[in-house]
Amino acid sequence: MTSSGPWGSGAPSFDLREIPFSYRGSWLDLSPVVGLDACSDTVHLVSHRNGFHAVLGLRPERSGSAVEPEWHAGATSLTWRHGDAATGATAATVEAAFDGPDAIRLRGDGLALRLVDAAGALTPFTGSYLFDDPVDGAAVLTSYETGRRYRVTSLAGRIEVIGAGALGVAERAVLLGGDGAAWEAVVQEIETAADPYASGRSFDEVVAGVAADFDDYLGAVAPWRDDTTPAAALACYVLWSATVAPDGFMTRESVLMSKHWMDKVWSWDHCFNALALASGLPEVALDQWLAPFDHQDGSGALPDSITHSEVLRNFVKPPVHGWALRRLRAGAGRLLTEAELVEVHDRLAAWSRFWLDHRRRPGHPLPYYQHGNDSGWDNATTFDRERVVEAPDLAALLAVQLDVLGDLAAEIGRPAEHWHRSRDELGEALLARLWTGAEFVAVGALDGRASGASSLLSLLPLVLGERLPAAVRTTLADRVARHLTPWGLATEPVDSPLYEADGYWRGPIWAPSTALVEDGLRSSGFVELADTVSERFRRLCEQSGFAENFDAGTGAGLRDRAYTWTASVYLTLAAAHVERDARSTDSGRTD
């Protein structure tokens, strides 16, 4: 199989193995990625309801035989193409487009398409069951894994159903256009029942409608894009296509981290997506920020993650929400209403109280993580010596959050002094207990043993900006330089004996750490270094896409290749770059 589509501005195209084809609001996608690091030679219809499940394999055929077409994926449609003048075969195609979030229109010209049950076997508790619907003659596949039904309706041409009613191990498939003539059909994800499909639009009109939807989104999120930000349109597509409608435990329209296997919302990832959407889609941005707070427990803790059918509470995530809220409000396309400010205050207050009341050892002023996963930097070298640690990034982020919370409380007429007092006490303890005079260290909450300080995590107190002494800020900025590679900030210096090229948080470049350090450098007065960090990360994304993380030495994308917080950080850095460039140009003009 081959898949084409260059990076660039304008209407984006892309490699289907890297980015799934989907639509804003849909829980479906079309992709060859069918599991954790598992990529098939066949495009599959994948559903993210009740988990990550490949439901149908979509296999083009020609004259009764399987073929290996090229894939051409874009924001509006996906095309399988086989044959051309060079091979002596007439070009034949199958095309797919989303007709709303729950329906995929298909049409073929010269190619048939076999929709194959991906499960293969039907047991009393797994697999899919295929039958002909007596109501309208549609073929319906029921899936144990997703708990949904997949209805295939012919709109034109021939349809054949193979294995209707079959049990156990059997071929279950729907063949569209098997006679070689042109055909058209639609696949819908439905619940128990739905009215027969009726669109009223041609395939081309469906494609035009998707183009208009995406253009509106692109214009709202990245109106500033220009030739210096060539990946902006694709970054917007990654966000747009990874967005799901409210369903299950997702109580708001939410941007998943990916529509590959990382199909969740983790309780810090969402903050970076909110920032990218704040200017053009402020209501959507606020929903992103609030999404995990809908599952806040009685202690004030946020879940580790949420997805369609599960809420995990085995870990938490760092209190980055105050930092994000300040930036969201600064960049939002409108002011938050009084009711919104009150809701945000109450949620943020409970979350802050969790750290102050439930995550401090008696007599200790600093909060602690119970595991690296609580920090979001799961396996960073900071946690090699001790897992349960009072960490400098945690103290700094919570101090920022308390500062934001105190200001917000005063703004809405709530008591504020105790938040600011806790902020000051936390800042003083950070310097007194975790600053060695040369570096910040984490210490064991039980035994006080100091961790190593080689991880970029130890530099996150930069987010405090001018609240840190000037000498401390300068030392931290100097240490940032050790992490800087031609591609950006390695989470562990490449010359460290602990560095691992594909070691998750033990070396690779990540978007959130880049965003936090870049912002900290800028607020601490190290503007030139912040500009360098921004420029290198943007160039990295423009070359290697929006992977979960990147090899710090080569810039190659690693792990999940369609990660929304990476796209969001690219967008926020790119927007700020364009704004700074415009200010610089304006200041240089003479009238």
Looking at the predicted structure, is the pLDDT value of residue 418 above 80? yes
Q: Which tokens is 524 given? A: 């601490």
For 358-456, strand residue ranges (E) read 389-390, 443-444
Report DSSP state, residue 424.
Answer: H
Longest dimension (CA), the chain: 80
Cα separations in angstroms, 337 against 101, 132, 282, 502, 529: 30, 52, 12, 44, 36
- pLDDT average, residue stretch 426-432: 98
Looking at the predicted structure, is the pLDDT value of residue 151 above 60? yes
pLDDT of residue 4: 40
Looking at the predicted structure, is the pLDDT value of residue 493 above 50? yes
Cα separations in angstroms, 331 against 328, 512, 586: 5, 18, 21
Closest by alpha carbon to 29, among 44, 8, 41?
44
Helix (H, G, I), strand (E, B) or coil at 361: coil
Burial of 589 (0-12, 13-18, 19+ CB in 10 A): exposed
Cα–chain center distance at 48: 14
pTM of the predicted model as reported, rounded to 2 decimal places = 0.96
pLDDT, tens digit, for every residue of 231-241?
999 999 999 99
Percentage of the chain with pLDDT > 70?
A: 96
pLDDT of residue 87: 57
Q: With contact defined as beta carbons under 8 Å apart, do 510 and 563 qualify?
A: no
Give residues with Cβ within 8 angstroms of 497, minimum separation 6.
Answer: none
Cα separations in angstroms, 385 against 207, 290, 574: 55, 35, 38
pLDDT of residue 10: 53
Looking at the predicted structure, is the pLDDT value of residue 486 above 80? yes
Query: Contacts from 67-71 at CB under 8 Å and sequence distance 24+?
Result: 67/111, 68/1, 68/41, 69/1, 69/94, 69/111, 70/1, 70/2, 70/3, 70/4, 71/1, 71/2, 71/3, 71/4, 71/16, 71/43
* Least confident piece of the model among 1-15, 426-440, 495-509: 1-15
Helix (H, G, I), strand (E, B) or coil at 10: coil
Q: With contact defined as beta carbons under 8 Å apart, do 19 and 73 qualify?
A: yes
Looking at the predicted structure, is the pLDDT value of residue 42 above 60? yes
Residue 228, CA atoms < 13 Å, CB-side half-sphere:
14
Q: Which tokens is 328 given? A: 């969201």
Q: What is the CATH T-level fold of the domain 2-192, as seen in this structure?
A: Beta-galactosidase; Chain A, domain 5 (2.70.98)
Cα–Cα distance between 427 and 402 in angstroms, integer? 11
84 pLDDT tier (thresholds 50, 70, 90): confident
CB atoms within 10 A of CB 264: 22
pLDDT, tens digit, for every residue of 322-333?
999 999 999 999
In the chain, domain spans:
2-192, 212-580
Looking at the predicted structure, is the pLDDT value of residue 88 above 70? no
- pLDDT average, residue stretch 546-556: 98
Looking at the predicted structure, is the pLDDT value of residue 1 above 90? no
Looking at the predicted structure, is the pLDDT value of residue 89 above 90? no
Q: With contact defined as beta carbons under 8 Å apart, do 329 and 279 qualify?
A: no
Better-predicted residue by pLDDT, 144 or 10: 144
pLDDT, tens digit, for every residue of 182-196?
999 999 999 999 999
> In this structure, is the dihedral angle defined by the CA atoms of residues 254, 258, 262 and 267, taken in order, positive or negative?
negative
Q: What is the CATH T-level fold of the domain 212-580, as seen in this structure?
A: Glycosyltransferase (1.50.10)
Report DSSP state, residue 266.
Answer: E
For 226-335, strand residue ranges (E) read 243-244, 254-255, 265-266, 305-307, 310-312
Q: With contact defined as beta carbons under 8 Å apart, do 212 and 252 qualify?
A: no
- pLDDT average, residue stretch 554-582: 97
